[in-house]
Amino acid sequence: MHIREATTDDVNDIRQVAEASWDGDYPDILSRETIHEGVDEWYSPEQLRDSLAWAHTFILVAEQDETVVGFVHAISDRESTAGDLLRLYVHPDHRGEGIGRQLFEAVRDRLAANGVEQLRAMVLAENDVGISFYQSFGFELDHTEDIVIGGEHCQEQTLVLDTE
């Protein structure tokens, strides 16, 4: 398994990992229609290409046998020493192999090298697996807020971790 910076050639693969993850993780949390609207909105080719072009964005992919099996998307806040871990997904067929941990550690190290002292991770409040994943690294709950995905109201938790 190899972790590297994403390129525009990875856009479709990232979208496929996101779609498989949302389909597998959220059927009891979000409607099927909302899942597809969310994937279309957050992982559109245009959105991903724009994100890849932004200087303060870190999108890494995990590649196994020349296939993208996971990705992480984070940004550093130019106004502070905080970074946001927006998304971290591993294709359901490759979970339990340590890929998520490796992606997290790789992006955490890149963010820290760019002056980030605190990470924020946003997770749907009903996503127990995601919350447990971040808590295993020492993240703690900061706050919960209402968000809208594809027209559906959800609760999202923001977890924080000091990287120093």
Contact 48, 19 (CB under 8 A): no
What is the set of domains in the chain, with CATH numbers? 2-162 (3.40.630.30)
Q: Which residues contact 70 (CB under 8 A, 6 or more apart)?
A: 17, 61, 62, 88, 89, 90, 91, 94, 99, 100, 103
Model confidence, pTM? 0.87
pLDDT band at 44 (very low <50, low <70, confident <90, very high): confident
What is the overall mean pLDDT for the chain? 88
pLDDT band at 47 (very low <50, low <70, confident <90, very high): confident
Tell me the pLDDT tens digit for each residue of 64-106.
Answer: 999 999 999 999 977 778 999 988 999 999 999 999 999 999 9
